[in-house]
Structure 1
Amino acid sequence: MTPSDPTPGTPPTDPAPLLTVRTTVVLLSAAVIGLVTGGLAFLGGGPTAGAVLAGLTASGAGVPALHKLIR
Structure 2
Amino acid sequence: MRNNDRDPLLDQRAALILLFGALSAIGAGALTVLNGGALAGAGLAGGGAFAAAVYFFHKIIR
Q: Percent sequence identity over matched residues?
A: 43
TM-score relative to the length of structure 1: 0.76
Structure 1: stretches of 5+ with no match in the other structure: 5-12
User: Of residues 49, 54, 63 in structure 1, which corresponds to 2:54?
Assistant: 63
Match of 1:32 in 2: 23
Local SS of the residue matching 1:17 = coil
Q: CA RMSD in A?
A: 1.7
Deviations 1:19-70 (A, max 9, x none): 0000000000000000000000011001110011001110011111100111
Match of 2:38 in 1: 47
TM-score relative to the length of structure 2: 0.86
Q: Any runs of at least 4 consecutive aligned residues in structure 1 with deviations exceeding 4 A, and if so which?
A: none
Separation in 2 of the partners of 1:14 and 1:55? 34
Greater percentage in helix = 2
Paired residues, number? 60
Separation in 2 of the partners of 1:15 and 1:48? 39
